[in-house]
Structure 1
Amino acid sequence: MRSISLVFISILLFYGCGSKAKVYTLKPAEISAMSSHKKIYIDRFDGDDIGFQEKLKTSLVELRYNKTPYFEVTYGKSNALIYGRISHRVRDDVYQNQYITHFDKNGKKGERKEHKEIRPYMATKYYDFPHKENQKNFDKKNPAPKESVEVEMCLEREVSLHGNIEIVANSKILYIYPIDKQVSKKECSYSEYPRVDTRMLLEDAQYDVIDDFIAKIAPQKVSYEIDLIDSAEKNWTKEQKNILKNAMNFIEDERYNEAQQLLVSLVNSTNRQSFVALYNLGIVLEAKAKYDEAKLIYKEASKLYSKDVGLSIEAINRITNTQKSEIEAINEIEK
């Protein structure tokens, strides 16, 4: 059975090559009205010959927050109805990759080039030039091949799903989710006709649609990453630099308690006059969901002179938005 909890999404808000801290939080459903319509009846889907209805039903039944089901899927009285239509199409592209290796007059291998050629028919073969019938490429005195050609047959199979999922509540259409999903896979072989499992592609495409649909109608567990400042300040001692380095390692491993202890000692050893130490401590507190404490640290850091002081202001605004989003999500879950 496919195990599902709330949909988890990673959001990269800040980009860079340095150390990062990951913050886990909650995001409310895009269709917030669904929090008042959790008792669901799932009707049939027109054109469904791939088991989409049952997969959707199972996924909604298994959707949980803290081990508590979010939706109640029922065959009896409900306050929302889900139905729709779905169709699928399978498309194959068959082509050959030709790898041509050239030889010099002594038979030494030279450059190997790839040439992709679309073919309307299916064939695999390996052959060496020159062929006996191709006398212009054949030197009787020096029978070394001029070139060898390896032919690789490739099959690229694409499965596409189309249709929609409709939610009706109180005789009104609450939401229409358009289904438009493509999943493809390529297999190549030198010796036999390549095989691609259509059933697995259909499964992948259906669960991609279902996961995205659930992300619209239920709260999501999400995460975002924040760039740390991992460069020591100029006037720091060797010991202080080592503390920062060790703290960065703990943060990378998401060992935030250990990182917090080190950064608190660094803040104290710099008489709370280091923007780097305070800002990184604020990030650790944010990652631990201690938002009010993190705000106080960011505010303290914003009063120090630093070229990066704007980061602390951004962090305060970010936490405010995160707290608001979490409260909305929790309210939806507790309804």
Structure 2
Amino acid sequence: MKLVALALVFLVFTGCSKTVRIASLQPAEIDRAAGAKRIAVYTFRHDTVGLTEKIETKAAAARVDGKPWFTVISRGDLSKILEELRLQESGLADEEQVVEAGKLLGATALITGSVTAADAEDSYYTEKRFECLDKKCKEYNIFDVSCMERSAVVSAHIRLVDIAKGEVLFADTLKRSRHWNRCFDSSTHIPTKGEALDLLANEIADHFIQRLTPHYTYHEVELLEEPDIDYSAEEKKLLKNALTFIEHGRYDKAEQLLGELLRSTGEQSYVAAYDLGVVKETKGELEAARSLYLLADRNCPEPNETIDAAIVRIQQSIRAKESALKQMNQ
């Protein structure tokens, strides 16, 4: 499967060093759920925050390398089957009945559960304020201002069931909470109680779907900018121009120049090897990047934190990519 290299993007200046933002493909956290790609989402019990719809929407929108990860069976079709089977007498069928309906629709997994908490409340307190009564503030006034703290919490017990085997692939309670503060002499906006609960329900849905889906994480990788051996004037120019091309997002030109620099130094420059490894990693060529980082390590006469971090990172990235590709091919 050909992956889209998402790791490109930009340079960030942190002090005197330049960094490149690199994407790393990570496997779905719940490996057992990797084959559950045709799913049905059944209405959560006590769902006053629209969590069912949020999970369904986010599952339908989930993409890996631009391709949909899930096929989502509509809840309308699921309800219709339940009605036809005369299993929906009270409006909420039990899980076994819903699994049977999902099986008839060709779903491989069922997502269901219940919202166990959805509460928002306000508490009040005061803060001291200081007000000058003259220009030199020789006279002043201290007074109290009324303030409010809005607290919200949403939690839900979510289950993912393998329809064919009847096995529970995932069962956990996910919870999100947050606090907002505002004093009445401030124009600071805080969400309404409904907006707060909606925000937290969205966070739960996002987190749950990400745990089921291969995804990219992003990190900043430092470049080496100073010659490590006795560079000629032309070799210094090659390094400088390569770094400029990286800054401009021209990884193709940077790769060409750094390759020329590495050859020119008889493959003895760890700076050239390392920076070329970063370019390869940015392009998603992880094995080539690992070889270059190991070459940089061999050429470096003493421990180098940047190179050490690159070797650890690339090994982790290769393992993560292998796991993600295995999931993607299921």
Question: Given the two structures, how large is their TM-score scaled by the length of structure 2?
Answer: 0.74
Point out 4+ residue stretches in structure 1 off by more than 6 angstroms.
191-194
Pairing 1:1-335 to 2, within 5 Å after superposition: 18-74=17-73, 75=78, 76-86=105-115, 87-101=117-131, 107-110=134-137, 146-149=139-142, 151-169=144-162, 170-190=165-185, 196-233=191-228, 235-236=230-231, 240-241=235-236, 243-252=238-247, 254-308=249-303, 312=307, 315-335=310-330
* Aligned amino acid, residue 279 of structure 1: Y
Which residue of structure 1 lines up, in the alignment, with residue 100 of structure 2? none
CA contact (8 A) 2:159 2:168 kept: yes
- Deviation of 1:58 after TM superposition, in Å, equals 0.9
Q: Give the Cα–Cα distance (whole angstroms) in 2 for the partners of residues 148 and 310 of structure 1.
A: 56
- Deviation of 1:314 after TM superposition, in Å, equals 5.5
Q: Give the Cα–Cα distance (whole angstroms) in 2 for the partners of residues 191 and 82 of structure 1.
A: 43
Q: 1:242 to 1:78 in 2, by over 3 A?
A: same
Q: Give the Cα–Cα distance (whole angstroms) in 2 for the partners of residues 233 and 29 of structure 1.
A: 40
Q: 1:246 to 1:158 in 2, by over 3 A?
A: farther
Q: Give the Cα–Cα distance (whole angstroms) in 2 for the partners of residues 73 and 330 of structure 1.
A: 22
Q: Give the Cα–Cα distance (whole angstroms) in 1 for the partners of residues 29 and 190 of structure 2.
A: 40
CA contact (8 A) 2:120 2:197 kept: no
Q: Give the Cα–Cα distance (whole angstroms) in 2 for the partners of residues 183 and 263 of structure 1.
A: 48
- Deviation of 1:318 after TM superposition, in Å, equals 3.6
Deviates more, 1:290-299 or 1:197-206: 290-299
Q: Cα RMSD between the aligned structures?
A: 3.1
Name the structure with the higher helix share: 2
Question: Given the two structures, how large is their TM-score scaled by the length of structure 1?
Answer: 0.73
Equivalenced residue count is: 285
* Aligned amino acid, residue 18 of structure 2: S
Give the greater-gyration-radius structure (CA).
1
Q: Give the Cα–Cα distance (whole angstroms) in 2 for the partners of residues 82 and 295 of structure 1.
A: 40
Q: Give the Cα–Cα distance (whole angstroms) in 1 for the partners of residues 131 and 178 of structure 2.
A: 34
Per-residue CA shift, 1:192-218, capped at 9, x if unaligned?
Answer: 997632232222211111111112111
Q: 1:264 to 1:154 in 2, by over 3 A?
A: farther
- Deviation of 1:181 after TM superposition, in Å, equals 0.6
Deviates more, 1:56-65 or 1:245-254: 245-254
Q: Give the Cα–Cα distance (whole angstroms) in 1 for the partners of residues 182 and 289 of structure 2.
A: 51
Deviates more, 1:319-328 or 1:207-216: 319-328
CA contact (8 A) 1:295 1:319 kept: yes
Deviates more, 1:282-291 or 1:296-305: 296-305
Deviates more, 1:16-25 or 1:275-284: 16-25
Q: Which runs of 5+ in 1 are unaligned?
A: 1-7, 10-15, 111-144
Q: 1:241 to 1:84 in 2, by over 3 A?
A: same
